[in-house]
Amino acid sequence: MQFPARRTLFSPLFAAFVVAACAQSQPGSANVQVPLVVPAGTPLRLEVEKTTFPKHVGDAVRARLAEPVYAFDKEVIPAGTEVVGHVSSFTETPKSVRVQKMLGGNFGSFRHAQVLFDTVLPKDGPPLKIMASTESGSAQVVEMRATSAPNTGHGIHGAVNRAKLEAGKEIAKARDFLHSPDKMDVIRSAALARSPYQPVKIDGRSRFDALLQAPQNFGSESVPASEISQIGQVAPQSGELRANLVTSLNSATTKPDAAVDAVVMSPLFSADHQLLLPAGTHLVGKTTIARPAKRMHKNGQLRFAFQQVVLPTDVQSMQQQLASQVQPEPPAASQKIEAHLGGIVISRSAHVGLSEEGETKVEESKTRFIGPALSVALAAATTQREHDEDDGTIKNNTGAQAGAGALAFGLAGAVIGRVWRPAGIAFGFAGAGRSVYTQFFGKGIDIDIPKNTSLLVDFGRTGKTLPKPEASAN
């Protein structure tokens, strides 16, 4: 199996360093010097703390690392470290999207700020110069976990219990919001989202995935040669690590049994702190379920698992150098591992959730049926008139006309529907038909997991040894 080209710790300088270190290591030597390098292409998970309104190229944008950065087995940049970037350019929204937003009442700026992060500010130590570009704009993300759902029972009693559970979650969210230090920032962003004019902004708590354009060197560490030789010899029986998805997945386009590749971002240790998998290890698997969305609002399905581990090229080189100095032990019987998705960090707008078995699923709002019911009620109300007994005039239901127009075409529909009754009625029934069709008869939602998505991978208790790699991870 061939893997996508990826510059890990391996480089000509590193190869020479490893050869020299191993050449000095006699069969009974104790340590090997391992460079700590974060390779190019590594994503930095950055979270903007407060909403900013960039206006010019060069405006500063400040963020913090949401996840730590590792090299081999060491944390080289902890979570929470401040990272500074600057606006590199502004991109224009496609014309079709601009027209759609204007029909919805948005007449503000349609530009998006592209940010290039260039400086890391450690708490202890001098600033670190980097070059990390963002592939796409910022997004509000949520971490979904594959946790067991509580048993709420069946029938009416079960429905009541589920309703109470959902109400409790909403109350907890409201309580957390009231005690949040950035609640005013959230309120301001919500108000701006409904304003006719929306300036260029980067929302607070939004996430950037900034990709390093060049390797970052953090020195080296001394590791016992015996530990290097044992890396990858024992399969993880339990534990969780973070990985970066290399293969983009979509339930509409990905085929069953398609290859899935991810790169380990955080090392995995055994209970006695033995290094099992260093950062840079490839997790290789395949999709087990891939079904596209269909009509009658049947959502897409997607499930995948990892069955093989391929160590980084640099680790394989060190192990080969060490094995050439001593008589290698007979290889243990190879046995595949089982690693499943235990969590995922993804955009809120993706509507992706996880079942307790680790299967991705479409996470839709529990109130999605309120929209069709409201649109039908407003459409019916637009046809009603009131007769004023005092002066004999007939009054239109302008409130319902405006509401129906807003549901169908946003602010523009609300204004036109209020002042012109035929348009209000037409907007009402058009909006009701579209809402009912979308929620009941139209095509469902496909699951889309883009490249560089942050995954939480759980290892099952199967196997004692790892399979030998079919090919080196370059």
Q: Which amino acid is at 296?
A: M
- Please tell me the predicted confidence (pLDDT) of residue 11: 47
Give CA–CA dist 472/266, Å, rounded. 20
Gyration radius of the chain over CA positions = 28
CB atoms within 10 A of CB 388: 9
Q: Tokens 């108000």: give the residue.
A: 191
Helix 398-419 vs helix 95-103: crossing angle, to nearest 10: 130
- Output the CA torsion sign for 235, 241, 245, 250: positive
Give residue 170's pLDDT.
54
pLDDT digits (tens, 9 = 90+) for 366-416: 667 787 888 888 888 888 877 665 666 777 788 888 888 877 777 677 888
Q: How much is the pLDDT for 470?
A: 47
DSSP β-bridge partners for residue 291: 301
pLDDT given at position 266: 94
Which residues, in sequence order, are CB contacts of 216 under 8 Å at separation 6+? 37, 38, 76, 128, 130
This prediction's pTM: 0.75
On the CB side of 192, CA atoms within 13 Å amount to 18
Q: What is the DSSP string of 57-92?
A: TT-EEEEEESS-EEETTEEEE-TT-EEEEEEEEEEE
Beta bridge partners, 448, equal: 250
| Cα 192–chain centre separation | 25
Query: Ramachandran region of residue 200, left (φ > 0), alpha (ψ -120 to 50) or beta?
Result: beta
What sign has the CA pseudo-torsion 421, 426, 430, 436?
positive
pLDDT at 378: 84
Nearest to 130 by CA among 74, 76, 184: 76
Q: Which tokens in the block code for residue 174?
A: 């409201």
d(CA 289, CA 409): 38
Which helix (H) or strand (E) segment holds residue 133: the answer is strand 128-134
**Cα dihedral sign for 371, 372, 377, 383?**
positive
Q: Would you state the structure tokens that stand for residue 250, as one six-digit string? A: 């979509």
Q: Can you say whether residue 115 is alpha, beta or left, with left for phi > 0 and alpha for psi between -120 and 50 degrees?
A: beta
User: How high is the pLDDT of residue 451?
Assistant: 92
Greatest Cα-to-Cα distance within the chain, rounded to the nearest angstrom:
108
The 3-state DSSP class for residue 152 equals coil
Please name the residues in contact with 154: beta carbons below 8 A apart, sequence gap of 6 or more: none
> Which residue intervals of 122-280 are DSSP H helices?
155-178, 183-193, 225-230
Helix, strand, coil percent values for the chain (each to nearest 5): 30, 30, 40
Q: Give me 371's structure tokens.
A: 């929209």
| CB 306 within 8 Å of CB 262 | yes
Q: Tell me what pLDDT residue 464 has.
A: 42
pLDDT of residue 449: 92
Chunked into runs of 10 residues, the chain (474 residues) has average pLDDT values of 45 47 50 92 90 89 94 94 93 78 68 90 92 73 64 54 57 59 62 69 85 94 89 80 94 93 93 89 91 90 89 87 65 56 84 78 75 84 74 75 78 80 86 84 90 88 44 43
Identify the residue whose tokens are 């950065």.
69
Residue 93 and residue 109: Cα distance in Å, rounded? 9
User: SS3 for 432?
Assistant: helix
- The region, left, alpha or beta by phi > 0 then psi within -120 to 50, assigned to residue 297 is left
Cα–Cα distance between 256 and 248 in angstroms, integer? 14
Question: What pLDDT does residue 1 have?
Answer: 47
Torsion over CA of 221, 223, 228 and 232, rounded to 10 degrees?
Answer: -70
